[in-house]
Amino acid sequence: MNPSGGLEQQLIGIAPIILMVVLFYFMLIRPQQKRQKEHLATLNNIKRGDNVVLSSGVIGKVVRVEDKEVGVEIAQGVTVKVRKAMITEVSAKGEPAPANDPKN
């Protein structure tokens, strides 16, 4: 037998590292890529009247949609221009409002 170990010993030594890489891919990288694709699809489908939550926590209603920016009404008569990338959540105007919020 070879004292430095043969090809089998080297493969056995590398197997745990390969297994960890595969686990990281399926447990972390792939789900994150899936969420990112879903988020981009949501941002591309934003339309006038949708309610949005910005990354700062501000909630508003979409009044204008452009390529990379969106006009969001955050109070009656107050409209801000926001980059689409700063939108974290989108709910369509047809979705029900929470029970404790007054309806508009």
> Would you state the pLDDT for residue 8?
87
* pLDDT tens-place string over residues 39-83: 999 999 999 999 999 999 999 999 999 999 999 999 999 999 999
Count Cβ atoms below 10 Å from residue 32 Cβ, excluding itself.
Answer: 10
Count Cβ atoms below 10 Å from residue 50 Cβ, excluding itself.
Answer: 21
- Count of the separate structural domains present in the chain: 1
For residue 26, give its domain range: 4-91
Q: Does a structural domain hold residue 99?
A: no
Q: Is 4 helix (H, G, I), strand (E, B) or coil?
A: coil
pTM of the model as a whole: 0.65
* Domain harbouring 63, CATH code: 2.30.30.100
Could you tell me if 20 and 54 are in contact, meaning their C-beta atoms sit under 8 angstroms apart?
Answer: no
- Give how far the C-alpha of residue 41 lies from the chain's centroid of Cα atoms, to the nearest Å: 10
Q: Can you tell me the distance from the alpha carbon of 42 to that of 37, in angstroms, rounded to the nearest whole number?
A: 9
* pLDDT tens-place string over residues 7-18: 888 888 899 999
Q: Does a structural domain hold residue 101?
A: no
Report the number of secondary-structure helices (H) and strands (E) in the chain: 2, 5
